[in-house]
Structure 1
């Protein structure tokens, strides 16, 4: 490469041997601040910056974090809204034992039983189940409860005001089981739901039943060895008699791409297995054939853009997920419950088709031997709704670290 005073983002990434995604994050985090090109406002880097980076033999950027920690004793989790087991697999990989899982969807329950015959799967509506027999028998309660509006009676939302919602059931089970820590997870939109009232209501309810909530964070799956741009809100409640503090998992610097998911490499020791998958209808296939890798609807000829987008063409916003073909060298966009869903296309980089079931599972970091039960559409739904397994594992490490510190503090003389 020609030596010059300033480098573009792409050139800097090549010089440093890092992805552009990593450099963008370092810029946002203040680890390696980029300058801005005066007219285009694109990121640029001074030669001196890059030289300094390359000259540092013990560079902070090169010291990859490692969140792994071994449990000092057996820790047990009761999981609610367990789905197809994405979070449960992750927690299992971090060394946490699953004492029971509740799930209402019969196909997801079949999936859990097929893969883990030893797991205690409680199939049925959470509202009809009593969990008091697990009181003080699980240190952890987790649950990916759906986001629902509350009835706002008075200034401080109480547990009774949340009746009829699934968060009420989550809080009820936490009350019955009395764990040291509870973890709720949800979509990023929870933070803005009802102008922030919903998340504040949840925090006040957990406070009412005896749990302090750790400052809420959004975890990005791509920071935790997941080749997908998926974001989840994590709600952590610590029982008020527990003095140990909880720390979220530290993000890794390496970003994994679609090629890491579907081809042999660091994430998987073989190419993705062949499997069934959905197909696009002919009219959609004709349109998506015109889209290049990493392209979307704006790459279409103008007349086809207007026809394909309809009224949406005249509305604001980029809508970059519509008619989107994923590139090999980028993480996938967030997977949905239906791969051929209108206006949330996630097209294969080379073939004009949606990702297959096993490709979907790889992007969510499920093991290849994890079987999904039910129809093809049911399998997609289970995978699309899941917490990525690798993200679950990193959350598990944070829980293990918290519990290790808690039990260590009990053994120390006061």
Structure 2
């Protein structure tokens, strides 16, 4: 079995995909204590280190060497929907902490890297952001170039009824491999029926419902009343955003920011937002994934961490390719211990 570790672990979307592919999670790091709580509930046997990555160190935290280091470093600075300040933003600068930790491992650095971010990272600042990242990784001794920057969509490539394209950078160590073959064009798969993800017949608690006479509710109700059951609608500021039937809008961390950022639907009782469990399923998490009760954690925080998460379906797709590559190309005598 190969070992992996996670930076910016969140609630474990990347870890879940890696473990489904056969990896063992040696350790993980996450700053947000609410995410740490959820992570521990769902990965009880993992060693998650709660705290700022800037205070994490190989020696100080006794971090075990691993075969694969993965992480979705903060995307707000690079996303088209964010401030686009790149490395001028403190969150953008956190990428350099990944480089620092790799260097601290020295000769025991990870054999492969899997890094996740927003697609806009590829083109932002006239391409300077991605060039900076690739150059830093190359200087650390990894085979990586733009052809190893893979765009994966949760809908097209994993069948989820949510269009959610993310960027994944795959790097291979020059100490172990002769090149980096990760330049895949993924097959397009059939979309799953959105009815499998939404609990339309089950009436929910009052928290989720919006009065259709509300000035926002009236707009949403007008839109949804013209559409078939299981249709979704979403407000963007003051207008209703068109949503194609059978699809869910991209779920984002803004769902936890209040207002009406969570998609809405019409059920037997009335106009309501998607529940946390429905959002989890639309992200590709299993129904067995555990969330804290409302008495212990605000719903807004839960929506936010779901919107921030990496889809386990997507991470599993990539993790299987990485696991197979390691199995076929790595001498067992040189595995991480």
Pick from 75, 78, 89 the counterpart of residue 2 of structure 2: 75
Name the SS for the 1:165 alignment partner: helix
In the TM superposition, 1:93-104 aligns within 5 A as: 93-104=20-31
User: How many Å apart are 1:120 and its aligned residue?
Assistant: 0.5
Contact 2:112 2:173 in 1 (8 A): yes
Contact 1:277 1:355 in 2 (8 A): no
Aligned counterpart, 1:335? 251
Pick from 296, 313, 319 the counterpart of residue 396 of structure 1: 319
Aligned counterpart, 1:220? 153
Deviations 1:320-372 (A, max 9, x none): xx524756x52212102243866855222555222111111110111112122
**Distance in 2 of aligned mates of 1:76 and 1:143:** 14
Aligned counterpart, 1:379? 302
Name the SS for the 2:325 alignment partner: helix
**Distance in 2 of aligned mates of 1:295 and 1:225:** 18
Name the SS for the 2:223 alignment partner: coil
**Distance in 2 of aligned mates of 1:365 and 1:249:** 21
Note if 1:91 corresponds to 2:18.
yes
Note if 1:139 corresponds to 2:71.
no
**Distance in 2 of aligned mates of 1:210 and 1:273:** 55
Contact 1:323 1:346 in 2 (8 A): no
Pick from 194, 197, 203 the counterpart of residue 134 of structure 2: 203
In the TM superposition, 1:174-253 aligns within 5 A as: 174-177=102-105, 178-214=109-145, 215=147, 216-222=149-155, 223-241=157-175, 242-243=177-178, 245-247=180-182, 248=184, 250-253=186-189
Contact 2:233 2:263 in 1 (8 A): no
In the TM superposition, 1:11-410 aligns within 5 A as: 74-132=1-59, 133-134=62-63, 137-147=65-75, 148=77, 149-150=86-87, 165-177=93-105, 178-214=109-145, 215=147, 216-222=149-155, 223-241=157-175, 242-243=177-178, 245-247=180-182, 248=184, 250-262=186-198, 278-280=208-210, 282-292=214-224, 293=227, 309=238, 323-324=240-241, 326=243, 329-339=245-255, 344=261, 346-348=263-265, 350=267, 351-373=270-292, 374-407=297-330
Rg comparison, structure with higher value: 1
TM-score (norm 2): 0.79
Name the SS for the 1:348 alignment partner: strand
**Distance in 2 of aligned mates of 1:323 and 1:344:** 11
**Distance in 1 of aligned mates of 2:301 and 2:91:** 29
- Structure 2 residue ranges without an equivalent (≥5): 78-85
TM-score (norm 1): 0.65
User: How many Å apart are 1:189 and its aligned residue?
Assistant: 1.8
User: How many Å apart are 1:275 and its aligned residue?
Assistant: 7.4
Compute the RMSD of aligned alpha carbons. Answer: 3.2
Contact 1:226 1:388 in 2 (8 A): no
The alpha-carbon distance between structure 1 residues 228 and 143, as it changes in their structure 2 partners (threshold 3 A), is same
Higher deviation after alignment, 289-298 or 374-383: 289-298
Contact 1:227 1:332 in 2 (8 A): yes
The alpha-carbon distance between structure 1 residues 278 and 243, as it changes in their structure 2 partners (threshold 3 A), is farther
Contact 2:159 2:189 in 1 (8 A): no
The alpha-carbon distance between structure 1 residues 164 and 366, as it changes in their structure 2 partners (threshold 3 A), is closer
The alpha-carbon distance between structure 1 residues 347 and 326, as it changes in their structure 2 partners (threshold 3 A), is farther
User: How many Å apart are 1:377 and its aligned residue?
Assistant: 0.6
**Distance in 1 of aligned mates of 2:7 and 2:312:** 16
Contact 1:296 1:324 in 2 (8 A): yes
